[in-house]
Amino acid sequence: MSDLVLLTGISGFVGSHVALQLLKEGYRVRGSVRNLEKSEKVRQTLKAHGADISQLEFVALDLNEDEGWSEAMQGARYLQHVASPFVTTMPDDRMELINPAVKGTSRAIEAALKAKVERIILTSSMAAISYGHGKDHTAPFNEDDWTNINSAEVNAYTESKTLAEKKAWEIMENAGRRNDLSVINPSLIFGPLLDDDAGTSGALILRLLNGSIPATPRFYFPIIDVRDVAFMHLKAMTEQQAGGKRFITASNGLWFKELSDAMKTALPQYSKKLPKFSMPDWGVRLYSLFDKDVRGNLSALGVKHELDNSLGKALMEREFISADEAVIAMANSLLEQGLCD
């Protein structure tokens, strides 16, 4: 019988791609959803993309609740903890993001340790690495770096990812099992959708395609394709040398205007709706008074985070998919799913 992987957040953008990767590699997957009513849609989505769904089962788990974690972990050789809140609009109460991220990570890892799971893979983020250091930090960030959560520039999402990952390492250190944890730190994730849920990153591309972003602010996006993120989760689970390490998972980056121009080249039929100009910084600050998404990310205005992805590429044993290809793949899948005009 093949090895069983408990995969949290299977219905999400990353989780569904990780599930597809695992099932195609012959693993049994026990996917967690908050509500089991979601399971049939996930099952049919994965089947449509060639997965053997006879190897798939579901459990109901909530990051905010204790119930079910021990039972869900029984028989699992590996834990892929992907579930975590991801938003661009920051809540008024930071704890709305921090609590489920940190406490959910604690619940998952502690249950895995009690069940003697062999290897734990955590989906973190570059948000836990490269923020709160000011514009004077010019050296590429690497896996030794941590976000400075004491900086006023750090928003609730960034703080939640940093604290959740630090909690994971703390728990594993205290258990004497640091080398049984591997952490994936992806940048902004684009790439093809598997279903008709655009998700948070897809929503950005939709806003570009429907003309609701008239001009591009000076935001820089280190980008990664979701297919590479899923493959990194598999490699971190199966490669012995990946234990006890973090992996920056990022391809090249694009300024917002470059991202828009790449879409304009690939999808000329949308050129009239795509933004034609860059917005000056003062205009972005003024616009942020009316757009909560922009207001929550003003600290990133004009900041270009350089990332050292050499460790991730070594684990992958190939180059990452380019940022342009990831963006266009997502745009095309939004069109294929009928999510934009």
Q: What is the mean pLDDT of residues 191-197?
A: 96
d(CA 191, CA 325): 8
pLDDT score for 1 = 55
Contact 329, 225 (CB under 8 A): yes
pLDDT score for 91 = 66
Q: With 90 as the cut, is the pLDDT of residue 265 above it?
A: yes
Kindly report the average pLDDT of the chain as a whole number.
93
Strand partners, 7: 31, 80
Read off the pLDDT of residues 98-150 as tens digits, 9 standing for 90 and up.
888 999 999 999 999 999 999 999 999 999 999 988 777 778 999 999 999 99
Q: What is the mean pLDDT of residues 58-70?
A: 95
pLDDT score for 236 = 98
63, 125, 130, 141, 142 from 222: Cα distances, Å: 28, 11, 11, 12, 14
pLDDT score for 87 = 61
pLDDT score for 281 = 82
Q: What is the mean pLDDT of residues 154-171?
A: 94
pLDDT score for 282 = 85
Confidence bin at 95 (pLDDT 50/70/90): confident
Q: With 70 as the cut, is the pLDDT of residue 14 above it?
A: yes
Report the percent of the chain where pLDDT is more than 70. Answer: 97
pLDDT score for 290 = 78
Q: With 90 as the cut, is the pLDDT of residue 56 above it?
A: yes
pTM of the prediction?
0.94
Q: With 90 as the cut, is the pLDDT of residue 249 above it?
A: yes
pLDDT score for 325 = 98
* SS3 (DSSP) at 53: helix
Domains assigned to the chain: 4-336 (3.40.50.720)
Tell me which range, 137-141, 209-213, 288-292, is most confidently predicted by mean pLDDT: 209-213
pLDDT score for 133 = 87
Q: Please state whether beta strands 220-225 and 253-255 pair in parallel, antiparallel, or not at all (unpaired).
A: antiparallel
Contact 72, 56 (CB under 8 A): no
d(CA 85, CA 95): 11
